[in-house]
């Protein structure tokens, strides 16, 4: 499989996302095209990973988990970086749509992070002999899951949209400090988890299939984040427009209004 085909898919996904951002009128249909590309990419990417990719010289067929595990973790980090950016931007601009974007990206990042870590454990059992080890990469990944679960839990406990957005932004910024440590942990410490590989360090077919699956999951990440953002925006609009829709303990109701 030639590498350029994967780069074409990746560019198509990024290009459509650019159109989606730049031309609001296209948002009603661009996400549907991305969804089709994502689902089609995952189906074909699964076939490529399971049937076309050559076996690895050391890990045999078990390494085929990589074609799902690595893009999932990349997508988690991407979504959580957007969460960080939106959190910082919210503190400056106090725009609740940025809070909605933060919320959406935190959930999508946590979703991909969770399945990425789960797949890592499944891969670890036949290659390392253990499901889990407290090595720096795995430990920082576990911290990531715990911290962003806490971030989403915090959002459930605060009813006031303004307070929730501010507190969440602060937590989102603090939580993001784990992300560079997670990424560089395999370089900073000599650990069980292998270091990142690049295009020049692996078979071109393997790299091409990895990029194909990355592009497909990127399309789905955009679709998931966009749909989750719409849900968050609708919830926000309801909260702002209808204070009575909030739980009874969220604020005082004037006695004359009762």
Partner 1 sequence: MTAPTFLIPLLWAAELKPGEGLIVGGWEFVWAAWGVTWAALALYALSLWLRRETSETPKELR
Yes or no: say if 6 and 215 are a contact pair by the CB < 8 Å rule: yes
Yes or no: say if 99 and 165 are a contact pair by the CB < 8 Å rule: yes
Beta bridge partners of 238: none
Yes or no: say if 182 and 120 are a contact pair by the CB < 8 Å rule: no
Pick between residue 63 and residue 151 the one whose CB is nearest to partner 1: 63
Beta bridge partners of 60: 56
Yes or no: say if 42 and 112 are a contact pair by the CB < 8 Å rule: no
Specify the stretch interacting with partner 1 by CB under 8 A; choose among 1-9, 65-73, 78-86, 165-173: 65-73
Specify the stretch interacting with partner 1 by CB under 8 A; choose among 77-85, 112-120, 176-184, 193-201: 112-120
54 binds partner 1 (CB under 8 A): yes
- Alpha-carbon separation of residue 137 from 151, 181, 250 (angstroms): 21, 8, 40
111 binds partner 1 (CB under 8 A): yes
> Which residues between 67 and 86 bind partner 1 (CB under 8 A)?
68-69, 72
Specify the stretch interacting with partner 1 by CB under 8 A; choose among 6-14, 75-83, 163-171, 240-248: 240-248
Residues that bind partner 1 (CB under 8 A): 42, 46, 49-50, 54-65, 68-69, 72, 111, 114-115, 118-119, 122-123, 125-127, 220, 224, 227-228, 230-231, 234-235, 237-238, 241-242, 245
């Amino acid at each position: 499989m030639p590498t350029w085909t994967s780069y074409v898919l990746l560019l198509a996904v990024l290009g459509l996302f650019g159109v989606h951002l730049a031309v609001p009128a296209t948002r009603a249909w661009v996400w549907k095209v991305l969804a089709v590309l994502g689902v089609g990419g995952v189906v074909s990417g699964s076939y490529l990973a399971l049937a076309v990719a050559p076996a690895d010289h050391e890990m045999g067929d078990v390494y085929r988990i990589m074609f799902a595990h690595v893009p999932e973790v990349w997508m988690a980090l991407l979504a959580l970086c957007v969460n960080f950016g939106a959190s910082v931007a919210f503190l400056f601009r106090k725009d609740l749509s940025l809070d909605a974007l933060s919320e959406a990206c935190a959930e999508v990042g946590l979703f991909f992070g969770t399945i990425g870590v789960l797949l890592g454990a499944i891969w670890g059992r036949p290659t390392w002999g253990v499901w889990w080890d407290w090595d720096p990469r795995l430990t920082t990944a576990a911290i990531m899951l715990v911290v962003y679960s806490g971030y989403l839990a915090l959002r459930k406990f605060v009813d006031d949209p303004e307070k929730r957005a501010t507190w969440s932004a602060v937590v989102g910024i603090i939580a993001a400090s784990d992300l560079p440590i997670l990424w560089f942990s395999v370089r900073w410490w000599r650990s069980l988890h292998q270091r990142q590989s690049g295009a020049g360090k692996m078979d071109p077919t393997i790299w091409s299939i990895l990029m194909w699956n990355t592009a497909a999951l990127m399309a789905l990440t955009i679709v998931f984040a966009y749909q989750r953002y719409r849900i968050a925006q609708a919830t926000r609009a309801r909260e702002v427009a209808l204070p009575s829709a909030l739980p009874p303990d969220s604020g005082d109701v004037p006695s004359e209004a009762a």
